[in-house]
């Protein structure tokens, strides 16, 4: 099996996922990464609208999908993601790990 198709389940931990989300969200919202915490609400604390969240999901699918085959968000699950921590937990669950 070619190396690029091999999926290593333990490749991401919660801190890794948080770092990716934080970096990408800061770019999308044009804010300082230091203002983004796990407990930050997308709408209330960060001012992210639904378009910003869709952009975040697309970037995460691309970034994480490069390292894990078949990673994606289910569109119907997006309404359940209210905080950055919710997004981290969701990604970890989709990767088949807990944290």
For residue 51, give the CATH number of its domain: 1.10.1200.10
Domain extent for 74: 23-94
Give domain status of residue 82, yes or no: yes
> In the predicted model, is pLDDT for residue 70 greater than 50?
yes
Structure-derived torsion over alpha carbons of residues 96, 69, 65, 75, reported in degrees to the nearest 10: -60
Rounded to an integer, the average pLDDT of 10-15 is: 80
Residue 16 lies in a domain: no
Tell whether the model's pLDDT for residue 83 goes beyond 70. Answer: yes
Does residue 6 carry a pLDDT above 80? no
Q: Provide, rounded to the nearest whole percent, the portion of the chain with pLDDT above 70.
A: 86
**Nearest-angstrom CA–CA distance, 32 and 13:** 23
5 vs 29 pLDDT, higher one: 29
75 counts as catalytic: no
What SS3 class is residue 83? strand
Task: Tell whether 14 is covered by a domain.
Answer: no
14 pLDDT higher than 70: yes
Residues 15, 49, 63, 77: which is the catalytic one? 49
6 part of a folded domain: no
Domain contains 72: yes
List Cα–Cα distances, 99 to 11, 27, 51, 55, in angstroms.
13, 25, 28, 25
């Amino acid at each position: 099996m070619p190396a690029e198709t091999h999926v290593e389940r333990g490749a991401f931990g919660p801190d890794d996922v948080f770092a990716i989300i934080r970096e990408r969200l800061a770019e999308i919202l044009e804010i300082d990464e230091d203002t983004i915490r796990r407990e930050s609400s997308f709408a209330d604390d960060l001012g992210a609208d639904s378009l910003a969240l869709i952009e975040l999901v697309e970037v995460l699918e691309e970034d994480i999908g490069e390292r894990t085959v078949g990673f994606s968000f289910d569109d119907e699950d997006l309404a359940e993601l209210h905080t950055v921590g919710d997004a981290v937990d969701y990604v970890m669950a989709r990767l088949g790990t807990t944290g």
